[in-house]
A and B are shown apart, each in its own frame.
Chain A
Amino acid sequence: MQMRQGDVFLKSVARIPAGAVEVKPDNGEVVLAYGEVTGHKHRICHFMDTGALPARLFEAGDMRFLDVQEPTNLVHEEHATVALQPGVYKVSKFGIGTQREYSPEAIRSVAD
């Protein structure tokens, strides 16, 4: 399973690597990417009734993984909502960004 929402690309993987560290939720939300210019976020919100989060974000070196425990939605101000089924997903990551762009001297990440 592969999904793309703007510059965030999710791909199903078997499991989260050992030693991965959980990324703390931001204000009760799991944020996959922050728009540096607009302030918009690719995010998963907590359940309104219980306040519980349906997914957890992990970091392992320069990779990130999303562990979805209950069916939920990835939302963003400028993109259609992406439905997520339970499972483990690898989240695209390049430096501080989620998509890379070529530059003759070096690779730099995209700031949306």
Chain B
Amino acid sequence: MNTKIIRTPTRAEGGITAEEKMKMDAISKEWIDIAMRTDPIESDKIVPAIEALYAAADLKKPRVIIVPSPMVMAFAYGAAAWIWHCRKNPDAATDAATYAATDAATDAATYDATFAATDAATRDATRDATRAATRAATDDATDDATADATFDATYAATYAATDDATYAATDAATYAATRAATYAATRAATDAATDAATYAATDAATRAATYAATRAATDAATRAATYAATRAATDAATDAATRVAHGSPEKIAAKACKDMAGDGGLMCAKLWWKPSQGGNMWAPFPSYIAAMRDVLGLQLPEFVKYQTWEDSARHGSFRIVHEEFCMVSDFPKQIHKDSENRPHNDIGPSHEWRDGWKLYHIHGVRVPGLVVKNPEQITVQMIDEETNSEVRRIMIERYGQSRYLLDAGAIVLNRDDYGVLLRRDVPEDEPIVMVRVLNSTPEPDGSLTTEEAAEIFGADKVSSQATLMRALGYESPRWKDYFLRVPPEMKTAHEAVAWTFGVSADEYHPDFQS
């Protein structure tokens, strides 16, 4: 550092020292741990933190509702937001009532038959957020507008103000060094496994469930209008109960949302992300501000209000800030990552919340649960219908690349003394090209008979070995084949095998193979 180090309560200049860097590393680690919290949320800590956050933004005290997972949060928010909107906008309420009445009249399902945890939680959270609100003042603003305003108010009063003030109080070198030591480090360690994963997954779950719920309602209406009407009441009740019981948590939550607030609730649920804040899962910023304050010694006036943002991040996970209520999600029960901090679990969920909601990831790619839990149920058709190429690759890997090649009808590009070169085109991805080779030595656990091996690899290649083996006393040798994936531009099996050893076909002519 060639600039002079300056540390006062209002200025920090000259970059950071080695000792400061060590302290910042500790802060970064602390916030990474907070981002990865898996212990239960404590209401006596998060409720005052949220109330203080609203107060810092000069907003009225909200109802603070703790929900078990971000998924329940999305649907409970949707229902609660719409109910509030309708109370404040009587015209909308009429629409909603009509929707709800129509829905109730056409859908014979009595969901109280099976009250899944998510269903109950969504309903409870919605009631908590709207209870005793019949005398609420009329508000002309639409729900989305008030939600955005609340987000903006809390954000501007704490986060943005602190960021601006801190930036102004430091020089470029100090700012950059501190950001790198804390914000960037924390972000690298947490982003993929927490914020991004949860955001994308919750969004996807909400979309899927909303679609499912809408479809289910249509289905129910059609049933009621046609053959359901002619069936005995007990049959219909049984059928409906079974359908609900077998639904995924997302479907159950979506149904609860629709049940309470109609399509308006589902539409609000789809927009859950607009008024949401990440809580502990937005850890990079708090770690950076903590470094500026606790290591470099800045004591800016903005830090006073900012403390409420930090406390809310420390004690709660994702939250939705609404004018009337704030819903805060509990922390996940477990988070699994790979060495690059991407959410990952080969044999189970990458994330699981205490209400049983789970997400599945393979090295950062979100996949349907079946791909992880029951890979044996993956079919060629499912693989070919998958539109996300990253997900498709994982499905193929778990199905078995070579098995996929054989089952999905690969083209034989070439057959020579070295093996068989196969290709299977994959939509919107590069083709899978593999060379199938025969182990020169027959083995007791080989999967192919001599006849099968001869058919695949050619009679000449197999017969000489078979003769040798018979001379050694193996009457019915069995053969082991294996597959090696090679670059798609390979033209012959010879070239492909040579490539696996890092040489060209011209350079690869073994005098002896076993």
Contacts and interface: CB of A to CB of B under 8 A. Distances in A.
B441 to A, nearest CB: 5
Given A3-B513, A9-B510, A101 B485 contact: yes
Nearest to A79: B514
Interface string B452-492: 00000000000000000000000000000000111100000
A104 B393 contact: yes
Contacts of B500: 99-101, 110
Nearest to A108: B485
A80 B442 CA distance: 9
Contacts of B512: 3-4, 82-83
A69 interface: no
B510 A100 contact: no
A28 interface: no
Most A-side CB within 10 Å, residue of B440, B511, B513:
B513
B486 to A, nearest CB: 5
Majority SS at the chain B contact face: loop
A6 B439 contact: yes
B230 to A, nearest CB: 56
B502 A4 contact: no
Number of chain A interface residues as a range: 20 to 34
Contacts of B484: 99, 101-102, 110
B441 A79 contact: yes
B487 A102 contact: yes
B430 interface: yes
B430 A4 contact: no
A2 interface: yes
Contacts of A92: 501-502
Contacts of B211: none
Interface string A1-31: 1111110010100000000000000000000
Given A2-B509, A78-B441, A80-B440, A100 B502 contact: yes
B485 A94 contact: no
A12 B405 CA distance: 36
A94 B393 CA distance: 24
Given A99-B500, A104-B430, A3 B441 contact: no
Contacts of B511: 1-3
Contacts of B514: 4-6, 76, 79-82
Interface string B127-143: 00000000000000000
Contacts of B509: 2
A82 B512 CA distance: 8
Contact of B502 (A6, A94, A103, A110): A94
B501 A9 contact: yes
A94 B512 CA distance: 21
B115 interface: no
A79 B291 CA distance: 60
B510 A102 contact: no
A35 B218 CA distance: 57
Given A92-B501, A92-B502, A110-B484, A4 B513 contact: yes
Interface in A54-68: none
Interface in A72-105: 76, 78-83, 92, 94, 99-104
Contacts of A101: 484-486, 500
Contacts of A110: 484, 500
A1 B513 CA distance: 12
A81 B443 CA distance: 14
Interface in B495-514: 499-503, 508-514
A26 to B, nearest CB: 22
Most B-side CB within 10 Å, residue of A3, A81, A101:
A101
| 8 nearest CB pairs, A to B | A80-B514, A9-B501, A4-B510, A79-B514, A2-B510, A4-B513, A102-B485, A80-B441
Interface of A: 1-6, 9, 11, 76, 78-83, 92, 94, 99-104, 110
23 contacts: A2-B508, A2-B509, A2-B511, A3-B512, A4-B510, A4-B512, A4-B513, A4-B514, A6-B439, A9-B510, A11-B503, A78-B443, A79-B441, A79-B514, A81-B514, A99-B501, A101-B484, A101-B500, A102-B433, A102-B486, A104-B393, A104-B429, A110-B484
